[in-house]
Every structure is written in C-alpha cells, then in structure tokens.
A = this chain, B = another copy of it.
Amino acid sequence: MKYRYFIVDDHFMVVEGIRALLQSENSLEFMGSARNAAFCMAELLSKRPDIILMDINLPDKSGFELCKEVKLKYPGTKVIGLSTFNQQSFVKKMLESGADGYILKSADKKEILKAIEMVMRGQIYLDADVSGLLRHPEDREIILTKREKEILVLIAEGLTNSEIADRLFLGSSTVDTHRKHLLLKIGARNSAEMIKIAFQKNLLLLDS
C-alpha cells in the first residue's frame, strides 16, 4: 500500500526538507504542496492525499481552521500538525480540530515515518516533547468570553478603564468587573502579568 502525502507550509525550505527526507521511501508518494490554506483547499479538489502534513501557522488562516475544513470535506484524510517548539500551546487546539498527530519541525526522518505509520493505522501520534504537555491538566485552557477578549486587547493597547468604557459605550465600573474576571481567569496578579500570560497562552497574538 502506497500512501500519498501532501504538505502545507509557507516555508519552502520545510516543504523541500520533508520531501527530501521522504523521497527515498517507496511506500510514500509526494502529491504536492501548498503555501497557504486557500491553495491547499484548491489543490485538494483534484488531488486526494491520504495524509496531510500541515503547519499550524499559515499566512491566511490558522492551522486549526484549515484542519477542521479538511476534516469536514474529506473525513478520511489524515492530518499531522507541524510546528516549532515555542508553539506548544497550539497542540491541544490542533487535536481538538481533528488532527491525528503532531510533530515538531526538529523531527528527523525516523520520527516522521513513525508518525505517518501510526496515524495511517488509525492511531494518534504525538511528539515526545509535546505529549508531556497533555499530561499536565493543571494549566487548563483559559476560556474568555467575546467581551473579555475585546477588553483584553484594549488593556494591552494601554487604555484605562474609563477610556475602554468610552470606546465600548459602557460604564467604567463594567469594564472594571470584566478586568477583575480577566485577572481571575488568567490567574495574574496585575495587568502586566496578565498581558504576559495572554501572549504565552496565545490569547493575544504578536502579529496583529
């Protein structure tokens, strides 16, 4: 049985790296690659890979969204997430989006092959460095409401409660309450730490 694989990553070097590593395997067939989510979906109309290696950071869309989309339209297709070490917090989200495995870009050939093999057998493959994270439920996901997220970014912008209140047509005491809830949920002692944790847990994104 020959597995057909497809790669989604905006880093050309990574695409070529995986391809180079796997080209000697005659149980695997390279189907092509895409550098963003839109191009990926377009390619999948004609190409039908058994497995997709997918970066979680894409220029047009997050890996989660693309993964969900793929799984919805092509439920049989397996998806393995791909990322760098400092984005570990995305693992859980990726798995929740339906991914079948997760490896780091520092993975060697052996690990990639193992991951593909396990995933094609219907199992879940997680990188050793990453799987430990899932065993620590103490840092459980922080769920913010729409309003709280909105206020969080304004706090990060340096606005005071009353400025935020004006901006959102609220009473400043309302903003104060939301701020309290944010501190509580995020587990920070003050706004500075809150912003730091927000970045670490990807509640705030660097490139926005």
State whether the Cβ of A43 lies closer than 8 Å to any Cβ in chain B.
no
**Residues of B with C-beta under 8 A to A19:** 17, 20
Count A-side interface residues using an 8 Å CB cutoff.
Answer: 42
Q: Mark A178-195, 1 if CB is under 8 A from B, else 0.
A: 000000000011111111
State whether the Cβ of A200 lies closer than 8 Å to any Cβ in chain B.
yes
Across the interface, do B189 and A158 meet the contact criterion of CB distance under 8 Å?
A: yes
Q: Show the binding face of A for B, using Cβ within 8 Å.
A: 10-21, 35, 59, 84-86, 104-108, 155-160, 188-196, 199-200, 204, 206-207
- Closest B residue by C-beta to A17: B17
**Closest chain B CB from A125 CB (angstroms):** 16
- Closest B residue by C-beta to A105: B11
Across the interface, do A15 and B17 meet the contact criterion of CB distance under 8 Å?
A: yes
Across the interface, do B107 and A13 meet the contact criterion of CB distance under 8 Å?
A: yes
CA distance A102 to B199 in the complex (A): 26
